[in-house]
Chains A and B, each alone.
Chain A
Amino acid sequence: MKYILTLIIASLGGVLARLYMLRRDYRQYPSYPQGWAIHLFLGFIGGSIGAIIVPALLEGDYSAVSFLLLAASQFREVRNVERQTLSAMESTEMVKRGTAYIEGIARVFEARNYLAIWVALSVAITSELLVSIGWWRVGVGLVVGGITALILMRLMQGDQICDISTVELADFKFDGALVLIGEVVMMNVGLPESRKVYQERGLAAVIRPKGPDAKATLANLGQMQAIAHDVSSMIGVYMDVGEQEFIPMVRRDPSIGSLHVLMVPSEKDEEAFLAAIRRVPVLEGAVRKPLTSVAGKMVD
């Protein structure tokens, strides 16, 4: 029983870290409350694993440590479950997330459980190092856990579109049935009524990459779909089921590598539209760094 305090505060630290990482934002994912319950419990399991490793090591019970590390590998399953859930829900989305975005979300959820383990481990180590100060180690341990969680979260934070590019409003025009932003053909809108809706309520923007790396990242199809999905989930989209001509469009200008976004939002608010695009996360799976290669530097 001499490790009970360490076990409790380290597990608690892991759960609290997981809770801190469960942010409810516009995506509403994980859903509340069932999704939260699932992830908090997984966080508790992760926290317990992190907490028990330290006493097991101190007691020299290396087989227990091996088993705990084996248990940690079960979190790989979290990624599969998230992927399956999101893929199953994809058909209910007006604007699809796309496989790249789903993969990104699934990866984040797996990684966050490992963060809970790291936090619990840091609290447990602190607590055992400071056995001599008695109950004070509860406070010190939780502070150390908090700092660890903050550092890990900061390191895990990915870029947003505004970090790798500049986003500006753009004008669009019709050439017959074709909608154009600059010289880029966005789509063919056949119905005159739909063209009228675009002219009255449509908004367009251009996303200019800040460099060759950003250009390569924005060229990813998954990233383009993620922009369309996230912007529609943030500011709403003016469409009914089956009105395919109002699906938000993201197209690429091959000459300079910029992305052009055209959509009909539910409210025509230009600032909100730009803010939404800027806030879209850059998908981990879309990031490319051609400048780190010799050939990439040669063409720059």
Chain B
Amino acid sequence: MDKQVLAVCAVDKAKVGGGAPIFYASDQEELSELAMLISRVFGAAVHDLHNGVMIIVKH
């Protein structure tokens, strides 16, 4: 496995859970800002799941 979910960013708390670190945002704008900042720390890519959840994946 060379791909790994490093973090999950979400607006709706009900939609996420599990093992990866989860970061909550209050709206869509904060969500993408948060995802961008985390992705730059890890050097990873941001993927949008279209339901108010973004995942940071190391490829």
Pick from B44, B50, B54: contact of A242, CB under 8 Å: B44
Kindly provide the distance from the CB of A9 to the nearest chain B CB, expressed in whole angstroms.
53
B46 proximal to A (CB < 8 A) = yes
The residues in B between 10 and 59 inclusive whose CB is less than 8 angstroms from any CB of A are 32, 35-36, 39-40, 42-48, 50, 54-55, 58-59
Query: B36 to A193, Cβ gap below 8 A?
Result: yes
Kindly provide the distance from the CB of B15 to the nearest chain A CB, expressed in whole angstroms.
16
* Closest partner residue, chain B, to A188 (CB atom): B47
Residue count of chain A within 8 Å CB distance of chain B: 15
Chain A residues with Cβ under 8 A from B36's Cβ? 191, 193
The residues in A between 229 and 243 inclusive whose CB is less than 8 angstroms from any CB of B are 241-243
Kindly provide the distance from the CB of A272 to the nearest chain B CB, expressed in whole angstroms.
26
A194 to B45, CA, bound (A): 10
Knowing A176-B50, A177-B50, A191-B39 are in contact, say whether A244-B32 is a contact too (CB < 8 A). Answer: no
Chain B residues with Cβ under 8 A from A60's Cβ? none
Query: A176 to B48, Cβ gap below 8 A?
Result: yes
Query: B47 to A242, Cβ gap below 8 A?
Result: no
A121 to B48, CA, bound (A): 63
Chain A residues with Cβ under 8 A from B35's Cβ? 190-191
A247 to B45, CA, bound (A): 10
Query: Which secondary structure dominates where chain A touches chain B?
Result: loop
Chain B residues with Cβ under 8 A from A241's Cβ? 43
Query: Which secondary structure dominates where chain B touches chain A?
Result: mixed
Knowing A191-B39, A192-B32 are in contact, say whether A244-B47 is a contact too (CB < 8 A). Answer: no
Query: B46 to A242, Cβ gap below 8 A?
Result: no
Query: B43 to A190, Cβ gap below 8 A?
Result: no
* Closest partner residue, chain B, to A175 (CB atom): B50
Among A176, A244, A247, max chain B CB count under 10 A is at A244
A245 proximal to B (CB < 8 A) = yes
Query: B48 to A244, Cβ gap below 8 A?
Result: no
A177 to B48, CA, bound (A): 6
Query: A245 to B46, Cβ gap below 8 A?
Result: yes
A219 to B54, CA, bound (A): 31
Kindly provide the distance from the CB of B50 to the nearest chain A CB, expressed in whole angstroms.
5
Kindly provide the distance from the CB of A175 to the nearest chain B CB, expressed in whole angstroms.
10
Kindly provide the distance from the CB of B18 to the nearest chain A CB, expressed in whole angstroms.
19
Kindly provide the distance from the CB of A251 to the nearest chain B CB, expressed in whole angstroms.
14
A242 to B28, CA, bound (A): 23
Interface string of A188-213 (1 = CB under 8 A from B): 11111110000000000000000000
Chain B residues with Cβ under 8 A from A245's Cβ? 45-46
Query: A194 to B44, Cβ gap below 8 A?
Result: no
Q: Which residues of B approach A to under 8 Å, CB–CB?
A: 32, 35-36, 39-40, 42-48, 50, 54-55, 58-59
Q: Which residues of A approach B to under 8 Å, CB–CB?
A: 176-177, 188-194, 241-245, 247
